[in-house]
Structure 1
């Protein structure tokens, strides 16, 4: 597989579709919930056209300087084909690492969707790029995201006080890391960060 040619990924309940600009219209309603942005400096997109333009830029699958691979999948339901959110990886091939981010629409949270989508897409990204580790950066107030990433076997590596300031509050961040086992697979148990 060409490292930047994302493929469709299937799990028991989900289909992960490589992100395309034409997904914007169906993604827009789920991304419009203001409360979903409490722990990020982002805000909902004002209209479908703005979201579509962002997705068009992401279709390149690489940063403008060519140093990062941008891999994005729309999470959809196998049963209903409804869009449920997204998972994305910013891959730094030279460093053999990636940063994971995810967003599950409010109506579909606490159903194991994020866990299932991250596990499946992370296995694909780790294998394709031969990564040594995957990182995550989470606002310390985001208890649900912290629980999710720890359940997936990520270990907390540090606290970054005053990592950002947005919406009238200071954001401290926990940084997490998942060290890929020597065999290269993505497991379910906690791995020790080295």
Structure 2
């Protein structure tokens, strides 16, 4: 008996509704007005230590934010969606997240995130990354989503593990960063696993209406 064909992706291009609202955060397109806030953390050596980019100065920040601001729609394999992350209560921008439509043929995507260290320890990265997984698995009906990070970056690995992503690979000394060979680790989640993780949440009764 021939195998059933894989479900097709929804029609592209895809532009998410904005803002994407989580419990505490708003995820929205990056704008040039975000340059100062993004420069504030992407200029920090401790933030860029495990990234594939160096700390940026003000000029480079403007160029980087200009590029990010254009990444609002997914049309084909390789396209990137870039979103600023703001705390809804204050409107303060605390980081940015990335979703990559890796392959339309194989229905695969990738996620990444960078946050200001002053806002670590509050679960914001986990909350924002969950919203990216929801885009991939529920809006785009992808089969697999992965994240790659420097093997030394245990702080960024923890949100992926909290989300149920599986550590699939450990590539030894496959990147040369800041004058040294470094390892890379790969985390991934499948659509079936996402649905299983979401099932208990979907069975919760709706919250009672306010009187």
Q: TM-score by structure 2 length?
A: 0.78
RMSD: 2.6
Is 1:83 aligned to 2:83, yes or no? no
Deviates more, 1:88-97 or 1:100-109: 88-97
1:149 Cα deviation (Å)?
A: 1.0
Counterpart position of 1:71: 81
2:107 to 84, 96, 108: 96
Please give the alpha-carbon distance, in whole angstroms, between the structure 2 residues aligned to 1:117 and 1:107. 16
Partner in structure 1 of residue 116 of structure 2: 105
- Partner residue, 2:209: none
Q: Which has the larger radius of gyration?
A: 2
In 2, Cα distance between equivalents of 1:161 and 1:82: 38
Q: Note the C-alpha offset of 1:57.
A: 2.9
Q: Deviations over 1:64-95 (max 9, x none)?
A: x9532211111101111000101111112222
Distance in structure 1 (CA, Å) of the matches to 2:88 and 2:46: 27
List aligned pairs for 1:138-153, cutoff 5 A.
138-153=149-164
Q: TM-score when scaled to structure 1?
A: 0.84
Q: Show the counterpart of 1:192.
A: none
Q: How many residues are matched?
A: 187
Kept after mapping to 2: 8 A contact 1:3/1:129: no
Distance 1:67 1:121, change over 3 A: closer
SS in 1 for 2:198: coil
For 2:164 and 2:62, how far apart are their aligned partners in 1?
34
